[in-house]
Structure 1
């Protein structure tokens, strides 16, 4: 995060008595990493009447017929988005991006300029995000199951990348609504952004899931701004109504794990395929060229492997080992000896890929509280390169390149869930303060509504109350490389 001194530093040394969110970074106690600190001065807020007076999901009977991506795409395809961005940059400069960041407190927004930027982007928000988020259906029209070869990797998704920009524009309107105390409007704008994040992640590519996660993260920051706004409504039940998890990447992970045989024909059912020995050998050798094209970072590995196999024939490095493993798996020794060298290596590589890909995919089916404890399968994969002693070592490190993205995405989903649950916990504390007139000494004191546990641990959030400041701690030890602390005090 950026520090906007001197106003921000003054705010940090003398916390405001009015409701507001202020953010900064601090070094952790051990000095090994930074802690993102969110200081919220809040007003107590009772449960709304009715409980769902504010909603972050539009009820099904209020949605209209139509396909949401058709509206999102229109804004991108017709250059409406780019036109609005250009107009905003000409009128107010690129500083409008800074206004989206919680590092700039709501009270420090240059409202005249923000209103100008919002007016310039109103058409984008109305005809794209708002129109799409009010639709029943979500069909992007992609057919990932038809993609083969490098097309499965290089498939372009410009409209998905544009979704992040749409979310930013909606977030700008959200912060303006909060600044002007138009809280119902702010909640509705947040509803749009939560829906867009969910819709973006419906495309079964991991990159789409990551963009959706980023959209939800932006919206969660808007929720913090609203929670810290003076006399803002309590969002406990609105947050509880959000999907849990906010989005699922199961289909995306399943597709990601199918990339091996999609991109590398060598892995495509070699046990039942029939080719001439020369074709088997060609497929095995060709996998290295595909490997290098797939990931530039693997160039050194590919070159090393290619030089090992070149000149002395394919399979010198792993042929003997592959034969023995096929025998271990039930093939007759005479049958294996009669196979083409390339087929032996193909069957071995396909089975080994499946072993490691399946081990990686397990993460998506478990809660992060279990995943974070560690899985020896990941350590094994890291140590199962072509020159290792692992019985299922990869002669061609395909799983080694593909599967780390799965762990990264699982972590990102869990981190977002942790932040969303924290928002609801804060709202439970605000609701308690409205009843008791003070912040709770411990979370067990909150009886008006259930306080959610930290989904990354399955245990209650770390919470303390000292000198009138309630602190929620989201530590590094939760398994995320993000350490956050939320300090909450009641406004005068």
Structure 2
């Protein structure tokens, strides 16, 4: 898969998928996914971080997690690729949990591959060793290992579900630690597609916790969830990677120094190739550039923008109309790249509603990432983790109050997270011994079940 095409495709998958399943599929109800949780009243363990969702830092050893995770696939073709094996994985990952408790095939499922993942998760460094290659190859960068990591988390998900079904909570947490650690490695990936994959893997691990907390005797994971990095994937490395995806061959467009027509044409043809990886609906960059270069008004406007950006008027006068158009278009691309990037690490609720949705129609316009969809995917994971944290806080309150649910979240003594979509407290209601916790859907997604996950909690007596 090429980097740019993969980003378009994965954004659609992650933002538009019907649901994230770590249990039998949930049917939407009134535009929501309603998850019913029957739980025990249990407070956090002592010491507070007895249970973790990432390996204990005291257990870390020197080494690169990425190389160690790669080794999970050595001599494991049957586990990851054989149809019989993958069909079983699909069945186990959607079967009711009670059906897995006595399945002997699930004991130590994944064998050496998962054992190697446990080892990889406990190394202290993450280096994808892609930075230079991304700079050289740009949007032509191939990322075959990204899909492989998705296969690995599927195998670990099977194993975790079996352990949860059997009530082996310590073993399940070890498997979940490896899953979250694998997802977290993508925080260091130098592409936004890598970040999207990390978010997807984090969603798989987080939704498994919905089943974990429901099991009789399950420990409370409030502090384990609170201790997870927020956000799990911060998008910083991917942002910087986007700057590298347009190669050094376009550096000539940053200076008002004459470039020959053949050289400019070669650069534009490269854009034609890249544009072929997009939606295919817009005219090619070469057609657009030729048309703009013949439009005196367009050339004059481009010259004005370049002058305002600091280029000397006498230097611009020596350039061909085609170079002026291309320089201006590249400048607009870089400006829009920064205008989008500046918002993605601001809290979601502070970003403008139209953030990441505007693209200029020029030759470089198709290179702009789908920032809005990337940040929507990230905030969905943040919201899920925060909601689960509130669930565990409710369990803790019930443990201290004879199994009674808190009447309001203000009654909970633990430090509750806010809803990362709204920046406010989660909506909480109690009716007939059932508590409901729901977040605010992002604007425009009020009727999207994937953005409306609701927990209905009852406490076992």
Shift of 1:307: 4.4
- The residue that corresponds to 1:105 in the other structure is 96
TM-score (norm 1): 0.81
- The residue that corresponds to 1:441 in the other structure is 407
Matched, 1:302 2:268: no
Structure 2 counterpart of 1:75, from 63, 72, 77? 72
- The residue that corresponds to 2:140 in the other structure is 154
- The residue that corresponds to 1:316 in the other structure is 295
- The residue that corresponds to 1:461 in the other structure is 426
Shift of 1:214: 1.1
- The residue that corresponds to 2:89 in the other structure is 96
Q: Is the 8 A contact 1:462 1:473 kept in 2?
A: yes
Shift of 1:440: 1.1
Mapped to 2, the partners of 1:2 and 1:278 lie a distance apart of 49
**Map 1:356-435 → 2, pairs under 5 A:** 356-371=336-351, 373-375=352-354, 378=356, 381-382=358-359, 384-385=360-361, 395-396=362-363, 398=364, 400-435=365-400
Shift of 1:478: 5.9
Q: Is the 8 A contact 2:289 2:325 kept in 1?
A: no
Mapped to 2, the partners of 1:429 and 1:67 lie a distance apart of 38
Instruction: Kindly name which structure, 1 or 2, has the bigger radius of gyration based on alpha carbons.
Output: 1
Which runs of 5 or more residues in structure 2 are unaligned?
Answer: 1-16
Q: Is the 8 A contact 2:419 2:440 kept in 1?
A: no
Matched, 1:272 2:255: yes
- The residue that corresponds to 2:216 in the other structure is 230
Matched, 1:85 2:80: yes
Mapped to 1, the partners of 2:221 and 2:420 lie a distance apart of 19
What secondary structure sits across from 1:464 in the alignment? strand
Shift of 1:289: 5.1
Shift of 1:321: 2.6
Matched, 1:24 2:26: yes
Shift of 1:330: 5.4
Mapped to 1, the partners of 2:278 and 2:64 lie a distance apart of 39
- Where relative contact order (Cα < 8 A, 6+ residues apart) is larger, the structure is 2
Mapped to 2, the partners of 1:476 and 1:159 lie a distance apart of 33
- The residue that corresponds to 1:341 in the other structure is 321
What secondary structure sits across from 2:80 in the alignment? helix
Structure 2 counterpart of 1:62, from 55, 59, 63? 59
What secondary structure sits across from 1:223 in the alignment? helix
Mapped to 2, the partners of 1:60 and 1:461 lie a distance apart of 31
Query: What is the alpha-carbon root mean square deviation over aligned residues?
Result: 2.9
Mapped to 2, the partners of 1:142 and 1:364 lie a distance apart of 22
Which runs of 5 or more residues in structure 1 are unaligned?
Answer: 4-20, 29-33, 386-394
Shift of 1:270: 2.5
Structure 2 counterpart of 1:138, from 114, 117, 126? 126
Q: Is the 8 A contact 2:43 2:400 kept in 1?
A: yes
TM-score (norm 2): 0.86
Q: Is the 8 A contact 1:288 1:302 kept in 2?
A: no
Shift of 1:152: 1.6
What secondary structure sits across from 1:201 in the alignment? helix
